[in-house]
Amino acid sequence: GINTVTSLTNIIDIKSEDDLLVIGPLLERQTLPPTPATWQAFQAYVLTKKLYREKLLSADGTTALVICQLVDDDEFDKATIARSIITTVNSLNLNGRTYFG
């Protein structure tokens, strides 16, 4: 199966507020920006973060990376799991292109 997933929806954010180091989720759990304006503000914020820019989000903000780490166990057929991920993602009918590798 899948061991972990890393994406913009579940990574931590490290920032400075009032001379304090604040560590917390980049996005609040299960809360995506609800409007185009708040989504653009979130995207602009992420693009200011060297840790994520050009790693989890392309420099132009049009492409995001989702990393699925598979369980390292001979009990699971990684090719079958990969096909299942591809089938599931394709069934979402997302806008834009998806790439798998």
- What is the residue-wise DSSP string for 34-53? -SHHHHHHHHHHHHT-TTTB
- At 27-69, the pLDDT tens digits run 887 777 888 998 899 999 999 999 999 999 999 988 899 999 9
Task: Tell me the C-alpha distance between 30 and 67, whole Å.
Answer: 18
For the beta carbon of residue 56, count every other beta carbon within 10 angstroms.
19
pTM over 0.85: no
- Those residues with Cβ within 8 angstroms of residue 29's Cβ, 6 or more apart along the chain or in another chain: none
Task: Tell me the C-alpha distance between 96 and 61, whole Å.
Answer: 13
**pLDDT-based confidence at residue 94 (cuts at 50, 70, 90):** confident
